[in-house]
Structure 1
Amino acid sequence: MSDCLFCKIIAGDIPSKKVYEDDEYLAFWDIAPKAPVHILLIPKKHVTSLYHLDDSNVSVVQGMMSKAPEIAKLMELNDGFRAVVNTGDGGGQEVGHIHFHILGDVRKATWSGFPLQDN
């Protein structure tokens, strides 16, 4: 999608600090982290949100569920991590491309998730 921020990052038009990449997924540091480790995991296939899943693309999220712990291990989050998916404006989604927030060291986080806060 030409106007999608994350599609532009995937295409290399916008730089990111990558931590993982393969043929289907990209993970990079969030530019406005809410925890000491805050990684965004995105599929290279554009899916707008969980509301837009159907039989043709549900495997995208299934793959993300497998990649999240791999990325957490790469980031040495051995004590655990939080995976968050915001969906739609009411759910706090800011970029219209499905993504997981992988958060580590959440005890030191500036965001609890409830309620959404501007930090």
Structure 2
Amino acid sequence: MENCPFCKIIERRLPADIIYENDRILVFKDINPAAPVHFLIVPKQHIPTLSDCHEGHTAILGEMMAVVPRIADMQKIGVVGSTPETRTGGYRVIINAGPDGRQEVYHLHVHMIGGPRPWKDNK
């Protein structure tokens, strides 16, 4: 989409701090982070909202979720420890959809946030 900022980032017409990329997805740092670690996972295909997804998007949605643990480990926010008592680290994965869901950019994206708390919203 011509006016979509995420499409412009994917096409390298806008700068971004990219931390991961493959043929189908791009992961980059959020320019207004809500936590010490805040990334966006976006499909390279323009899909406006999660509500616009259908069965044909199953693979890309799965890939977006499957990359989360890898990114978490790369950014040192992955969950470590073998038992609940010894586990540390962690992160949140959020998808906003539509105006009431607080979506600001209408290109499907997953927020991945983590790092030491408290975070800005503390929610």
TM-score (norm 1): 0.89
> Gaps (5+ residues) in structure 1?
114-119
For residues 27 and 113 of structure 2, the distance between their equivalents in structure 1, rounded to whole angstroms, comes to: 12
The one-letter code of the counterpart of 1:93 is: Q
For residues 91 and 38 of structure 1, the distance between their equivalents in structure 2, rounded to whole angstroms, comes to: 18
- Aligned twin of 2:23: 23
- Aligned twin of 2:5: 5
User: Within 5 A, what are the aligned runs for 1:40-119?
Assistant: 40-78=40-78, 79-105=89-115, 107-113=117-123
Matched-pair contact (CA < 8 Å) for 1:82–1:106: no
Moved over 2 A (4+): none
The one-letter code of the counterpart of 1:101 is: H
Bigger Rg over Cα? 2
Measured against aligned partners, the alpha-carbon deviations of 1:45-99 in whole angstroms (never above 9, x if no partner) come to 1111110011222322111110111111110113111101101011000000111
The one-letter code of the counterpart of 1:99 is: H
> Gaps (5+ residues) in structure 2?
79-88
Matched-pair contact (CA < 8 Å) for 1:36–1:106: yes
* Local SS of the residue matching 1:20: strand
The one-letter code of the counterpart of 1:87 is: A
1:5 Cα deviation from its structure 2 partner? 0.9
Matched-pair contact (CA < 8 Å) for 1:17–1:29: yes
- Corresponding residue pairs, total: 113
Matched-pair contact (CA < 8 Å) for 1:86–1:93: yes
CA RMSD of aligned residues (A): 1.2
TM-score (norm 2): 0.86
